[in-house]
Amino acid sequence: MLLAAHVITLFRVDGDWARRHLLPLFDWQRSEAEARAAWEGFLWSPRLYRPLMEMLKPAFIDTVRHYAALGKHDGQYASLLTFAALDPGDTFTTTELAAATRALPPDGLHEAAQALVRALEGAGDQRADYWSNRVTPYLHFIWPKTRDNVSPAIAESLGRLCVAAQDAFPEALTLLRAWLQPPAHPDYLVHRLHEAGLCGKFPEQALDFLSLVIGDQTQWPPSDLGACLEAIRTAAPALEADRRFEQLVAYWRQRGR
């Protein structure tokens, strides 16, 4: 485990030694106990060092089948898989990454969705390019097409991804709309939507988003819902007659005041 935690350094210092003595320990087919320890060590502080990942690729892809064996490091694996898929280079094929991502359990997909949000929010001034060149291809070719494993937690993270897309919010909503559902507590999602100014900029899409993430069973209305509805009304007065708008206003008046 300690050797695996420093595998990148050891590989760079003496690649031949690492290939002979250390990298075989990551192979699940050789020994599940050794592979579990090796991957737990590596996942303490994982990095995508390309020359090493080329050597570890079969074992790395195979690790998804042993996700439960990773214990508290399972989320690190799902995140690393996601970052590998966002920038596959020549190391991985789309088919390999899509198959591994589809094999993640629901909590793994949740970690993957959170990794997408962190990656997009961390892109800074390059957010628009990162959305177009990294996240959109990921959603088209890597993210599962079926919603068998959808959960409120996954839906909330994908809702955050929509908001994080900023100027690409309408496109993001179109891509992810089928995955959205009311989370247990939508307050944070609605706050981020309001904070980003998307209700005034994209009133039709913002209304659709709110109708998807706020359900009848949501006990406490998000604190920024009233401000969001007012921004939508101001930007597109015609939407005041929309059934979704009327339902949200009725909900807000009943429970929010």
Residue with tokens 């994080």: 164
pLDDT of residue 256: 61
Q: Are 163 and 120 in contact (CB under 8 A)?
A: no
pLDDT of residue 257: 53
Task: List b or e across 209-231, with b for residues whose CB sees 16 or more CB atoms inside 10 angstroms.
Answer: bbbbbbeeebeebbebbbbbbeb
Spatial neighbors of 253 by CB under 8 A, at least 6 apart, are none
pLDDT of residue 148: 78
Residue with tokens 């993210």: 143
pLDDT of residue 190: 95
pLDDT mean values, one per 10 residues, the chain (257 residues): 94 95 96 96 92 95 96 95 91 94 95 96 92 96 86 93 96 95 90 96 97 82 93 96 94 76
Please report the DSSP string for the chain in residue order: -HHHHTHHHHHHH-HHHIIIIIGGGG-TTT-HHHHHHHHHHHTTS----HHHHHHHHHHHHHGGGGGGGGGGGHHHHHHHHHHHHHS-TTTS-HHHHHHHHHTS-HHHHHHHHHHHHHHHHTTGGGHHHHIIIIIHHHHHHTS-SS-TT--HHHHHHHHHHHHHTGGGHHHHHHHHGGG----S-THHHHHHHHHTTHHHHSHHHHHHHHHHH--TT--S--TTHHHHHHHHHHH-GGGGGSHHHHHHHHHHHHH--
pLDDT of residue 202: 98
pLDDT of residue 55: 95
Q: Which residue type does 162 have? A: C
pLDDT of residue 220: 80
Burial class, 103, CB count within 10 angstroms (exposed 0-12 / middle 13-18 / buried 19+): middle
Q: Which residue type does 180 have? A: L
